[in-house]
Amino acid sequence: MAAWLLHSLPSQEELVQRFRTRVAQGRLILPGAHDPLAGLLARQAGFEALYLSGAAFSASMGLPDLGLLTLEEVTERARALVRATGLPLVVDGDTGFGEALNVVRLGRQLVEAGVAAVQLEDQEMPKRCGHLAGKRLVPAQVMVEKIRALKRTVPSLVVIARTDAHALEGLRGVLERARQYVEAGADILFPEALTTLEEFAEVRQEVKVPLLANLTEFGKTPSLTAEQLFALGYEIALFPVSALRVAAKAMAQFYRHLRATGSAQAYLPHMQTRAELYELIGYAAYETFDAEVASRTASAQPNS
């Protein structure tokens, strides 16, 4: 599958069906993958779906998570992830890049890119990380209109409605907005930045569609495990930025070592080998294909 150039990819409809089936089975751990190499590594580890986090993608571009990415940047990164991995992808669409018409454009471009699901949130622009202060919410009706617009124009796309209401409206606000978003057609509900396991349990009791729990590190949600959320009945446990944080920490340590010593030898045991990298990206398949094409071309040449 890594040699995507040489093989056909699943259709968007196939990827959506795989994602819906996997969500219905429950106990889905959804890892963040900020670029195609990370996606291939997650696939190699056995993950069945991926998440493109706005925070992780922004950080990989050297930007804060303040809604600075463009629609084109997000859709192209999503396309690259689907193309490289052939896995169902959930894309963090932030606030949808504007109002209902902008959200429809986002949805159409994600479908064209093969994306299985889009996540929208009910913040005003400029949005904030869900676990930081300073968030402002749009009226629930604005979010309802965006969800309805997506379900009307791109019905194949799974819609994940995230509400950031907890910090401003409390758990009652989360539940009231969840009710409206589900009635509007949201397929999955994402209650952001809950602060206790009991709150997660209450949302599960009140909301009847599949639920996603964000287990990001260093935020307002305590350090919970996927198993704790699955035990409550949550279908999806999300780890959106974990892999990026691990990679960034490792690179920072290596760069300091390289600057101090002028050598990478001590880090060889911590490196992916050339052979491992080539296996991951399907290098041999490309070489084989290229050799076959060259051979057939040569054999097809008329004798002089």
Residue 184: partners with Cβ closer than 8 Å, 6 or more residues away: 143, 144, 147, 148, 151, 161
- Match domain 9-248 to its CATH number in 3.20.20.60, 3.30.230.70, 3.40.50.1370, 3.90.79.10: 3.20.20.60
Condensed to tens digits (0 to 9), the pLDDT of residues 239-293 reads 999 999 999 999 999 999 999 999 999 999 999 999 999 999 999 988 888 788 8
ω before 88 within 30° of 0 (cis)? Answer: no
pLDDT surpasses 50 at 221: yes
Residue 27: partners with Cβ closer than 8 Å, 6 or more residues away: 226, 230, 235
Residue 234: partners with Cβ closer than 8 Å, 6 or more residues away: 200, 204, 211, 212, 213
- Cα of first residue to Cα of last residue in the chain, in angstroms, is 41
Nearest to 247 by CA among 84, 29, 37: 37
pLDDT band, residue 302 (cuts 50/70/90):
low
Spatial distance between the Cα atoms of 129 and 63, rounded to a whole number of angstroms: 13
Q: What is the pLDDT of residue 219?
A: 86
Percentage of the chain surpassing pLDDT 70?
A: 93
pLDDT band, residue 129 (cuts 50/70/90):
low
Condensed to tens digits (0 to 9), the pLDDT of residues 177-204 reads 999 999 999 999 999 999 999 999 999 9
Condensed to tens digits (0 to 9), the pLDDT of residues 8-44 reads 889 999 999 999 999 999 999 999 999 999 999 999 9
All structural domains of the chain with their residue ranges? 9-248
Q: What is the pLDDT of residue 1?
A: 47
- Cα angle 170-245-89, degrees, rounded to a multiple of 5: 75
Range 292-303 average pLDDT: 72
Spatial distance between the Cα atoms of 104 and 99, rounded to a whole number of angstroms: 9
- Look up residue 32 and give its DSSP letter: B
- CA 140 from chain centre, in angstroms, equals 24
